[in-house]
Structure 1
Amino acid sequence: MDNNEDRNKNRTGQDEAKDWDIGEILIRILVTAIVVGIAAFLTPGFSINSLWSLILASVVIALLDYVIQKFTGVNASPFGRGITGFIVAAIILYVTKFIVPGFNISVWGAIIGALVIGIIDVIIPGKAM
């Protein structure tokens, strides 16, 4: 094991989450916009009023995901950590409602939306949430 690999291991021997670069963040925002747009179309109780709301929501969702993953290590992908990832994804969707104007979602819409996003995430390559 070389020094670079040593730096990527924490005290328990597990890999630490690596920092994202700007290209990964932009790709993540783009994929998130596509996936959230599809989920809003398919999910009852979930609507986005404009393209700008979709773009802003994608940025907010990507940032919330980054912050949660950075501080807790929980992957917020609906299938990333089983039920924990699913619940975190639903919470991120619901919290986004309070930050982004034109992004409307109910509690059930967030739950169903997290499920739809998880299914779409399996189909579309890249990381949605």
Structure 2
Amino acid sequence: MDNNDNNNRTKDTKNTSVGEVLLRILITAIIVGVAALLTPGFSINGIWSLIIASIVIALLDYFIQKIAGVDASPFGRGITGFIISAIILYVTKFIVPGFNISVWGAIIGALIIGILDAIIPGRAM
């Protein structure tokens, strides 16, 4: 009986993780899209660039969080989270075609994403 319960819990945990990742990507897409509209020096050319950028941002955030233990949300760890968030945005420029951002755009975008992250429920970066 205990063995089956443990297997069910493991399966539930995996499903929750996938759901959390998908939710994170969806929320990231919404927030990054709004930030691109509001930020000078930040543009996204098309929905596919936005979706791919959201996946890249979510993955970079996940790996930084797992490796360094730092929450990369702009207000997650104070100035450290803010700087890491801006760096993630800027690095995404080199990975995703159609995702264009300047250094100042990344800084302002990280600030706007932090504000939107506080307003929209869920987790963006």
Give the TM-score category using the shorter length: 0.7 to 0.9
Q: Does 1:76 align with 2:72?
A: yes
Q: How far apart in 2 are the matches of 1:117 and 1:84?
A: 15
Structure with a larger share of its residues in helix: 2
Q: How far apart in 1 are the matches of 2:64 and 2:58?
A: 10
Q: Does 1:29 align with 2:25?
A: yes
Q: How far apart in 1 are the matches of 2:21 and 2:118?
A: 19
1:63 is displaced (CA, Å) by 0.2
When the two structures are superposed, what TM-score results if normalisation uses the length of structure 2?
A: 0.87
Q: Which runs of 5+ in 1 are unaligned?
A: 1-18
Q: Which runs of 5+ in 2 are unaligned?
A: 1-13
Q: Does 1:117 align with 2:117?
A: no
Q: How far apart in 2 are the matches of 1:24 and 1:126?
A: 9
Which of residues 35, 38, 41 in structure 2 aligns to 1:39?
Answer: 35
1:43 is displaced (CA, Å) by 0.2
1:44 is displaced (CA, Å) by 0.1
Q: How far apart in 2 are the matches of 1:40 and 1:74?
A: 24
Q: How far apart in 2 are the matches of 1:81 and 1:35?
A: 19
When the two structures are superposed, what TM-score results if normalisation uses the length of structure 1?
A: 0.85
Q: Does 1:56 align with 2:49?
A: no
1:88 is displaced (CA, Å) by 0.2
- Number of aligned residue pairs: give it: 111
The one-letter code matched in structure 2 to 1:40 is A
